Every structure is written in structure tokens, then in C-alpha cells.
Homo-oligomer: A and B are copies of this chain.
Amino acid sequence: METRIRDSFARQGLMDTLGARIDEIAEGRVTLSAPITAAASQQHGYAHAGLTFALGDSAAGYSALTTMPDGAEVLTAEMKINLLAPADGTRLIATGEVVKPGRRLVVTRATVETEYADGTRRAVAILQGTMVPITG
């Protein structure tokens, strides 16, 4: 399972562009992270909501993938993000988890935290959405 997820992740150009990496893979739960850099900022220098979303959505998607058989893939059908605070730290950490597995739809959630230079963290976003398994 881990190999499958790392392979898929490696083929995601956007994750590479954003400097994202996989921090942890467990059954129904995946953690990704990425640095907050000028290249992924909004107009105030904080992480752009697009980065926060991309990371949270990907963590959620991969958490869904951990519940699927070999050869399956997932697509995001829909995702909703609530932003809680400006992403003003040095790194974003997104943890996705499966709320309800399924053959047709997988309901997921994710939390995105920002990490400061001193190692403390603060939640910056929560996401809730649906993944669709693709076989083929």
C-alpha cells in the first residue's frame, strides 16, 4: 500500500512544484507537508489558500486510497474547506482521514496545521469531502 501511494504521489507534478512530501501513511490516514515559501504565497506572504487546499485535498485522497484494493485510484468528487487562521508559519502539515469507506464513494476529512519556526503548531483549515474510486 505504501509503495502504491508513494508512486502515485511522485507522479503528481503539483506536489513536486510545491515541495510537498509524505510524512506518514497508515490505514485510513495520511499526513503530507510542504514548506510555506514565496512561491506558494498569497498577497500577504502567508500560504495561499490554494496550497492549503491542495495539501489537505491530497492528504484526504491518499487516506481514501489506503482503503482500496491494488490498482485502484481515487479522484476528488467534491471538497469543502473552512479556513481558520492565516497560514503564517514556515510549514503546512495536512492530515487526511477516512470517515466512511465505500466502493462507490469515500467520505474523508482533513486538517491542515501551520508549523512555526519554534515547532509549535496551529490549525489553519479543515476540509470535508468525497473521493470516488476509479478502477482501471
Contacts and interface: CB of A to CB of B under 8 A. Distances in A.
A83 B38 CA distance: 28
Interface in A32-49: 37-44, 48-49
Copies of the polypeptide in the assembly: 4
Interface residues of A, number: 52
28 contacts: A11-B43, A12-B43, A12-B48, A13-B39, A13-B40, A14-B40, A14-B48, A44-B73, A49-B54, A49-B57, A49-B76, A50-B50, A50-B51, A50-B53, A53-B53, A77-B77, A77-B82, A77-B83, A77-B105, A78-B81, A78-B82, A78-B107, A78-B130, A79-B80, A82-B107, A84-B99, A84-B100, A107-B126
